[in-house]
Amino acid sequence: MNKDRIEGGLKNVKGSVKEGLGKLVGDTKLEAEGKVEKTEGRIQNTVGGIKDSIRGNRD
């Protein structure tokens, strides 16, 4: 497993927590930051998956 996939997954979870906390306390800035972080995590996870696929095809 690629480190990008792990880091992306962690960012996704962290973003979800931030987004939920922002909704809970009514902080739209925190909620927006959480959404952005979730999106970054998903992208990073996808990039890691692509890297893993490319490496798998070379073996």
In which band, very low, low, confident or very high, does the pLDDT at 6 lie, cut at 50, 70 and 90?
very high
Backbone phi, psi, residue 56, to 5°: -65, -30
Quick: pLDDT tens for 18-57. 999 999 999 999 999 999 999 999 999 999 999 988 888 6
| Torsions phi, psi for 2 (to 5 deg) | -80, 145
Q: Give the range of the structural domain holding residue 32, as residue numbers without chain letter.
A: 3-58
pLDDT at 58: 64
Looking at the structure of the chain, the number of domains it has is: 1
